[in-house]
Amino acid sequence: MFNWINKKVKVSHFKHQQRKTSQTSTPISPILSENFENLNRLFSGNSDITFRNFTIGKNMEVSAFIIGIEGLFDKSIISNNVIKPLMECMNDECSNLNHKIELEIQSVVSVSSIHIETEMQVAIQKLMKGDPLLFINGINKAYIIGARAWETRSIEEPVTETTVRGPREAFSETLGINTALLRRKIHHPNLMIEPMTLGTYSQTDIAIAFIDEIASKEIVSELLTRLKRIDVDAILDSGYIEELIEDNPYSIFPDIKHTERPDTVAARLLEGRVAIMVEGTPTALIVPFLFMEAFQSVDDYYSRSYYSSLMRVFRIFSFIIATLLPATYVAAQNYHKEMFPTDFLISVAAAREGVPFPLFIEVLLMVIAFEMLKESGIRMPTPVGQAVAIVGGLVLGEAAVQAGIVGTITVIVIATTAIATFLTPNLNDAVGILRIVYLISAGLLGVFGITLVVSFVLIHLVSMRSFSIPYMSPLTPITWSGWRDLFIRFPHWAFNQRPAFIPNENQKRQGDNQKPSPPSKGD
């Protein structure tokens, strides 16, 4: 095995050296020592930068060196497939003429890919992403060797988007694996995956995926324009990009979908949408994203349409319950007691007997306690977090009732609200905020306050857009063809056309007469 030399420099030199966030593009020098000194000066203070000096050919006439970043490339590949073959080269002519050396590299070096670069800045960018660089004396080029290798997480089941019947594979933190998972779903040359790099310091690789001849050119162009406008130090997760390209930055409702499922991305691409995948994050972004799609689940399209439609209706009602139930309970008890039967009012009064707080404060405290339990369950390790969320809710609820701090009806209302919250994970952030806003308005003005806030929310929703598409489509403006996949899901054989409210270049989705039927007599 060949020895690699880690760069060591004096701390004093590191402190006094001026760093530049961007270097001007300079050509690679044909003099090997100049390239070595330039790289040595640029990476001074970085102990993970490794150099390997060697000579090409057994006559030891041509000097060369390889530079790489510790932990980002496979040393065995470089040593056995690059350095060793070049050092043991028996062709004497390869040591005399530069173009012969290039031919020898292409024929002797056995790695997956070798690219040639003449600009130092571009070569350094490749180096920082894990590709070792080969420099040879007398040649004003750098050979970018495809030998990236680092520890990656294997393909696992989705965590937040589990399914009963569908595929059980999720994106990982490696962009190459994610694009491969998407290619496994769509085996067509029109699936376009365009690379881009964002972040001045992070230099994060991202990939924009769409299907040519289906995706709207306007949406693709608009997305690329917004991405190119991003000028930040780092992109560490897809959430950074989401906040930098969304249409409604002050809205609590998401207008960009995030998913960890390759099949979901593939299904959306086939509708004419565009996906964004980011190196280092297992979550892809999809644009445009509309409000009613938050009530759709991946299982809706893997199960039969009747049951899927019923579950979708349940999710819509769950959203209403999760946001409005605590507020409605407070408003009805404080301002509109005539809405309830007398027997029920007596039961509620008996349950709240001895409670020291007004009903509004009582419910607000329980809502805050629920949010704290939910957050603690997320932040703690999975086994402990689940125990905290379940045991904590039971213990606190029971203890609060026994101590006379809250009434049993309030515990039932908050528990029902909590269960309903988990049926719409795409709107969890908005549900948590709306629940508190509705509750405060109910405590101040009763049902009138709730109606006022609901009106403002509806006005806000119908005014929103996601990449120029009305956020409430196809509900408003009405697109009747889109209602086949709105409150209920029609069978797959009924989806002859792609959604009309999503701009696309090819409206036809499948052939005619896809409805199955039993054979007629005599067939």
* Rounded CA separation 342/323 (Å): 26
- Exposed/middle/buried for 381, CB within 10 Å: 0-12, 13-18, 19+? exposed
Place of tokens 């490794």: 50
The confidence score (pLDDT) of residue 404 equals 75
Instruction: Look at residue 102 and give its three-state secondary structure.
Output: helix
The confidence score (pLDDT) of residue 322 equals 94
Reported residue count of the chain is: 523
DSSP code, position 518: P
Q: Supply 340's token pair.
A: 């309830």
Phi first, then psi, for residue 351 (nearest 5°) are -70, -30
Mean pLDDT of 213-233: 94
DSSP bridge partners of 116: 143
Mean pLDDT of the chain: 85
Band (11; pLDDT cuts 50, 70, 90): very low
What type of residue is 17? Q
Q: Is residue 4 predicted with pLDDT exceeding 60?
A: no
Q: Which residues of 331-365 are buried (b: 16+ CB within 10 A; e: fewer)?
A: bbbebeeeeeeeeeeeebeebbeebeeebbebbbb
Q: Is residue 210 predicted with pLDDT exceeding 70?
A: yes
pLDDT digits (tens, 9 = 90+) for 462-500: 999 999 999 999 998 988 888 999 999 999 888 888 988
Band (103; pLDDT cuts 50, 70, 90): low
Band (10; pLDDT cuts 50, 70, 90): very low
Phi first, then psi, for residue 204 (nearest 5°) are -80, 130
Phi first, then psi, for residue 326 (nearest 5°) are -60, -40
* Rounded CA separation 56/521 (Å): 80
Q: Is residue 100 predicted with pLDDT exceeding 80?
A: no
Band (16; pLDDT cuts 50, 70, 90): very low
Q: Is residue 50 predicted with pLDDT exceeding 60?
A: yes
What type of residue is 454? V
Q: Is residue 207 predicted with pLDDT exceeding 70?
A: yes
CA 502, chain centre distance (Å): 21
The 3 state secondary structure assigned to 180-241 is: HHHHHHCCCCCEEEEEEEECCCCCEEEEEEEECCCECHHHHHHHHHHHHCCCCCCCCCHHHH
Mean pLDDT of 414-428: 89
The confidence score (pLDDT) of residue 6 equals 56
Rama region for 365: left / alpha / beta (φ>0; ψ in -120 to 50; rest): alpha
What type of residue is 59? N
Q: 477 to each of 481, 501, 512, how far by Cα in Å? A: 12, 9, 27
The confidence score (pLDDT) of residue 23 equals 47
Indicate the helix (H) or strand (E) that contains 315: helix 305-335
Q: Are 186 and 211 in contact (CB under 8 A)?
A: yes
**How many CB atoms sit inside 10 A of residue 307's CB?**
12
DSSP assignment of 104-127 equals HHHHH--SS-EEEE-BHHHHHHHH
Question: What pTM was estimated for this model as a whole?
Answer: 0.83
Candidate from 16-20, 38-42, 111-115, 131-135 with smallest mean pLDDT: 16-20
The confidence score (pLDDT) of residue 83 equals 84
The confidence score (pLDDT) of residue 260 equals 94
Question: Which residues, in sequence order, are CB contacts of 60 under 8 Å at separation 6+?
Answer: none
The confidence score (pLDDT) of residue 92 equals 53
pLDDT digits (tens, 9 = 90+) for 232-289: 999 999 999 999 999 999 999 999 999 999 999 999 999 999 999 999 999 999 999 9
The confidence score (pLDDT) of residue 20 equals 41
* Nearest-10 Cα torsion for 213, 214, 216, 219: -110
The confidence score (pLDDT) of residue 244 equals 95
Mean pLDDT of 336-354: 78
Which comes out higher in pLDDT, residue 429 or 384?
429
pLDDT digits (tens, 9 = 90+) for 156-197: 888 888 888 889 899 999 998 999 999 999 999 999 999 999
Choose among 278, 215, 298: nearest CA to 467: 215
* Rounded CA separation 42/208 (Å): 32
Instruction: Look at residue 362 and give its three-state secondary structure.
Output: helix
DSSP code, position 5: E
pLDDT digits (tens, 9 = 90+) for 52-91: 898 887 665 688 899 999 888 888 888 888 888 888 775 5
